[in-house]
Amino acid sequence: MNSADAEGSARERGVHSACTQTDGLSGQIPRLSKVNLFTLLSLWMEIFPSVEQQKKSQVKKAGLVVVKNMKIVGLHCSSQDLHAGQIALIKYGSRLQNCDLYFSRKPCSMCLKMIVNAGVNRISYWPADPEISLQYEVSNGDAKLDAKAVERLKSNSRAHVCVLLQPLICHMMQFVEESCYKCDFIQKIAKIQPGLSTDFYTDCRQERIKEYERLFLISSEEMHKQMLIILGLENLCENPYFSNLRQNMKDLVLLLATIAASVPSFSHFGFYCNESELTSATNQTLPQEIARHCMVQARLLAYRTEDHKTGVGAVIWAEANSGSCDGTGALYFIGCGYNAFPVGSEYADFPHMDDKQKDREIRKFRYIIHAEQNALTFRCQEINPDERSMIFVTKCPCDECVPLIKGAGIKLIYAGDIDVGKKKADISYMKFAELEGVGKFTWQLSPFYSCAPEHQTLTDQENGVPEEHSLPEEQQHQSKVACLGD
């Protein structure tokens, strides 16, 4: 996916990987493995905000991450008419050869036969409810026949079709919880609305945990075992394999919920431009839920960082002038990255010290590749100047990256702004505010709300929405239109 990775490919035991990982760099910070990052992104893509009305069907919406040479080249989700595997075939064709595909659900036989035929290297899937539902329709004959067909395709395929989940490294969950609680998005809410309960983030996180456990886990162990048997995974139904599998699944869902809660859907907060830029930014903003979804992608990437102090993630999307077969609508993936040392670097080769060190020679800033730079370097598609492109960065782009973003032709920047306007030793964030010709959206209180709080409060009261809870999606859209134009 991007910069230096000394982490070789995992050895698999049957269909389940029981890899051990080291505690990040020199034992100082934990680091999310690439396999788990790809798995989490596939789950997150499954719940990409709908751009169309989904029909009721026994086929479940699925997320897909396409990986080549351990670099992400595509993020997709199934649409109303097409499964994720079908979308991959349409978009990539024979270019799927030697790719690894990470699905949030086991693909059906219709998809599997096509992607196996394309010559993929590995197909990994989340071991819960597959595309053809078995959890609530175990007696469904077609679902069972499809599961048998999938197993026959799997046994006669050169592609490795498997479940690939890795246990989280020591202290990873604690590290994510602490960093999410301290992140810019949560702290800004607490700062601007000090009357909020100190348990605000905890409450958000608990809501997300319940929601994602319902979506991605099977509560009954017996039901889960029965499904694994139908899916041809009998060898995972015996302990300790089954208990390890369940624990790994629960840990990953908990991690996803924790990170997703750090960019909350909260009344009057979202990605907005400053009041002085309202006119120039009119008609440019994304719907708030899609912008939030993309920022969580960037936050997931940030936990791959090689920086001891600050993890930064960036993801670039573009909006085509015409529609697409993808469940993401006109949006398509360009590239992603996180901050890391140059490819092939050994960790001990470069300084890791931050700006608090008096000796400039042992500071990291002249050596580390920024998340935005990695996203641009390892992009899988060119940026079309005639289409709207956008980059999502977990913190304000620095003076080193701002000219690169503009020069690449990116039209919009969505960012946390914790360092905007600051100069910190060897790194400056002064150019971001002065940038012209590029729409800049930071996560903040709505300018419309700050200009006319009486009107906004009345709107809340009319709709029965308490101030400490999120607005309904329709209300969020109305507020956005009032601020920035539809």
Kindly report the backbone phi and psi dihedral angles of residue 347, in degrees, each rounded to the nearest multiple of 5, phi listed first: -55, -30
- What's the rounded Cα separation, in Å, for the pair 10 and 447? 48
Tokens of 77: 């989700």
Active site residue 372: yes
Other residues' Cβ atoms within 10 Å of the Cβ of residue 291: 23
DSSP secondary structure code for residue 28 in this structure: S
Q: Which H/E stretch holds residue 313? A: strand 313-319
Decide: 49 and 293 in contact? Cβ < 8 Å.
yes
- What's the rounded Cα separation, in Å, for the pair 54 and 395? 34
- What's the rounded Cα separation, in Å, for the pair 168 and 78? 28
Single out the catalytic residue among 46, 178, 372, 474. Answer: 372
- What's the rounded Cα separation, in Å, for the pair 405 and 387? 15
Distances (CA, A) of 411 to 63, 230, 318: 27, 48, 9
Three-class SS of residue 331? strand
Tokens of 203: 């409450």
- What's the rounded Cα separation, in Å, for the pair 469 and 354? 38
Of residues 394, 443, 392, 400, the one with CA closest to residue 424: 400
Within 199-312, strands assigned E span: 269-272
* Chain-centroid distance, C-alpha 275: 29
Q: Is the peptide bond before 342 cis (omega within 30 degrees of 0)?
A: no
Bridge partners of 16, per DSSP, are 13
Catalytic center residues: 372
